[in-house]
Structure 1
Amino acid sequence: MRNAFDFSPLYRTTVGFDRIAQILDAAHQTQSSNTNYPPYDIEVTGENQYSITIAVAGFLESEIDIQSENGVLQVRGKKDKQPEKQNFLYQGIAYRSFERKFQLADYVEVLGARLEHGILQIDLVKEVPEAMKPKKIAINSTKAIEQSAE
C-alpha cells in the first residue's frame, strides 16, 4: 500500500512558495515510482560546487542522454540490443534501460559530464546572480547626509 501525501494545502496557505511545493510533490512521485537502479552518489565538491556520480557499467556514451530543463536534471540510459545471445552462468551486470531525475535548486547549472570506466560524473555549480547576493548597506549619520547636500 502506497502512502499518498496531499500537498494542496501548501498551495492555499502560502504565497511565493509554490516552487517548494512542486519540488516536494515531484520528489515524492519520483521516490515512490523509482527503483534503486542505477546506483548514484551526490557529493559537495567545493563551495557552491556539486557532483553526481552514477554507476552505468556496460553503457556507451551514445546510449546515455543527459538533459537539464526547468530545474530538473534528467539522465536516461537506453541500451542498444545485445549482440548475439550469450550463455551466462551468472549475469550480475544489469543491461537495462534507466531514467533518473534530480531536482536542481535555483541557480544550479550543469557544467559538464564525463564517462570513464563505467562511471558517469556530472558536475554542477550554483551561480547566484550578483543582483541576488546579499549587499552590505552602510549607515550614514544625519550630519553626513546634510554635509553632502550642501
Structure 2
Amino acid sequence: MRNFDLTPLNRATVGFDQITDLMDRVIRQDVSQPSYPPYNIEKSGDDAWRISVAVAGFSPDDIVIEQRENALIIAARKSDEAAAGKTYLHRGIATRAFERRFHLADHVKVTEATHEHGMLHVDLLREVPEALKPRRIAIASTQSKSAPAVDAATPETIDA
C-alpha cells in the first residue's frame, strides 16, 4: 500500500482539517474491512440519507444505536439464552455480535430508526443552524463617508 503525505495540503488550506483527517483515515485503513453485517447507504434527499443494515435474527431489543459527536455506532449482541437448548443441523444465518461505525459530517443527526423484515433503517438529516448558513454582506462605499448613502430602491426628493 502506498503512503501519501498530506502535509502540503494542510499548508494550503485553512479550516479544512476535517477533510484532511478524513482522507488520512481512509488512506490508513486496513484493506480487510469487516463485511458483516451488510449495509446500504442511500441518498433520500438533498440533505437526507438512509443507512439500511441487514440484521436478520436480531430483535430490536438486541440492537443498540448511538450517536457520539460525528460518529454513528450500530451494535448488536444476541443473548446466549436464545440459542440454548437448540441443536442446529445447518446454521447459515449469522447472529454473531457486531459493531458498525459510520463517520458523519457536521450537523448530521439521526432522525429515526426502524426495524422491519430483518432490516434496520436509520434515517439521517443534515440540519445546518441558521447562524452557519450563507448570508450576503453589503459593501460600503468609502468615497463619501460624510454623506448618507441613498438607496436606489427608495428614491428620496430633496427640497431646495
Q: TM-score range by the shorter chain?
A: 0.7 to 0.9
Residue 17 of structure 1, CA deviation? 2.1
TM (norm. structure 2) is 0.75
Name 1:127's counterpart in structure 2. 127
> Aligned residues, how many?
145
| 1:1-150 map, 5 Å | 3=1, 5-6=3-4, 9=7, 10-11=9-10, 14-28=13-27, 32-81=31-80, 82-88=83-89, 90-137=90-137, 142-144=149-151
Residue 47 of structure 1, CA deviation? 2.5
Worse-matched range after superposition: 98-107 or 22-31 = 22-31
Name 2:144's counterpart in structure 1. none
Between the aligned partners of 1:70 and 1:144, the Cα distance in structure 2 is 46
Query: Tell me, which stretches of 5 or more residues in structure 2 are unaligned?
Result: 142-148
TM (norm. structure 1) is 0.79
Shift in CA distance, 29/85, structure 1 to aligned 2, threshold 3 Å:
farther
Report the 3-state secondary structure (helix = DSSP H, G, I; strand = E; otherwise coil) of the residue aligned with 1:144. Answer: coil
Between the aligned partners of 1:94 and 1:131, the Cα distance in structure 2 is 47
Shift in CA distance, 48/135, structure 1 to aligned 2, threshold 3 Å:
same
Q: Which aligned segments of 4 or more residues in structure 1 are displaced greater than 6 angstroms?
A: none
Query: Tell me, which stretches of 5 or more residues in structure 1 are unaligned?
Result: none
Q: What amino acid is the match of 1:132? A: L
Which of these two proteins has the greater Rg computed from alpha carbons? 2
State the identity as a percent.
41
Deviations 1:79-98 (A, max 9, x none): 2112224232x322111111
Between the aligned partners of 2:39 and 2:109, the Cα distance in structure 1 is 19
Q: Is the 8 A contact 1:114 1:122 kept in 2?
A: yes
Worse-matched range after superposition: 18-27 or 28-37 = 28-37
Q: Is the 8 A contact 1:59 1:79 kept in 2?
A: yes
